[in-house]
Amino acid sequence: MAVALIVAAGRGERLGTGRPKALVPLCGRPMLEWSVASLRAVPDVGQIIVALPADELDAAPAGTIGVSGGADRSRSVRNALAACADGDPVIVHDAARPLATPALFRQALLELARHQDAAAVIAAAPVVDTIKEVGPDGASVSRTLDRTRLWAVQTPQVFRRAALERALAQASDDELARATDDAWLVERSGGVVRILGSDPGNMKITTPEDLRVAELLLSERLR
């Protein structure tokens, strides 16, 4: 059976509501609960662990196991993984992506099962903007990247348990602090990471504008 880790221990500073982002209401429920509801609809998921701020452990939804998150996202993943003795593969998902559908979780699990050589499968959307890199002055363009090969990475990210455990154990404190996703840690240790084409609708909520857009998309879906 798979285990799902939801990281929800961030402070939500850019959203600026003065409370942890995962607990901010979205269409009448704490944001976190939408991801939990989607994961509950996936038959392969046997257990859901939620990393929360240490003073908000009561906010773990019914039927999930709440654990204290860490100083950064990767350490929250590590704490959640340590809280479940079994469960393979491991689904890692950000509470900040409440619109992830049960179908997306299912597809990611299927894709990993289909590709025995892969250590991980990660949801990602094709990049629609042209991306340029700037030089050390922070303003002059040094090059334009080939957009056809660029993907904007999302969660869910699904890992073979041994690969994720190894990657997290090998990373230094500095690398854990810098990692914005767990797949990077697996890539560094030589693991094959596959992209699963996803929808930009699986948006990440960072700012108050994102929250308004998500309210709109979710209320349309609920109608």
59 binds, among Mg ion, ligand CTP, none (CB under 5 to 8 A by kind): none
The least distance separating ligand CTP from the CB of residue 1, rounded to whole angstroms, comes to 23
How many Å apart are CA 57 and CA 107, to the nearest integer?
30
Q: Which residue, 61 or 70, has its beta carbon nearer to ligand CTP?
A: 70
Q: How far is the CB of 70 from ligand CTP (least distance, A)?
A: 6
Nearer to Mg ion, 10 or 87 (CB): 10
Q: Are 92 and 7 in contact (CB under 8 A)?
A: yes
Q: What are 87's two structure tokens?
A: 């469960």
Q: Using the rule CB under 5 A, which residue among 4, 6, 10, 95 binds Mg ion?
A: 10
Q: State the residue number with the nearest CB to Mg ion.
A: 10
Could you tell me which of 94, 131, 125 has the C-alpha nearest to residue 206?
94
**Rule CB under 5 A: is residue 70 a binding residue for Mg ion?**
no
Taking the least distance from each CB to ligand CTP, the nearer of 91 and 118 is 91
Distance from C-alpha of 52 to C-alpha of 36, rounded to nearest angstrom = 13
CB 99, min distance to Mg ion, A? 18
DSSP letter (8 states) at residue 65:
E
> Footprint of ligand CTP on this chain (CB under 6 A)?
7-14, 21-22, 51, 69-73, 76, 94-96, 206
Contact partner at residue 202 from ligand CTP, Mg ion, none, CB < 5 to 8 Å by partner kind: none
Minimum CB distance to ligand CTP, residue 216 (Å): 19
- Work out how close the CB of 35 gets to ligand CTP at its nearest, in angstroms, rounded to a whole number: 9
**Which residue in 1, 52, 46 sits closest to 31, CA to CA?**
52
Nearer to ligand CTP, 20 or 87 (CB): 20
- Give me the residue label for tokens 């996202």: 73
CA 89 to chain centre: 15
- Find which of Mg ion, ligand CTP, none residue 50 binds, CB within 5 to 8 Å per kind: none
- 17: amino acid identity, one letter: T
Task: Mark 135-144 as b/e (b = at least 16 C-beta within 10 Å).
Answer: eeeeeeeeee
Is cis: bond before 126, omega within 30 of 0?
no
Task: Give the residues lining the site for Mg ion (CB under 5 A).
Answer: 10
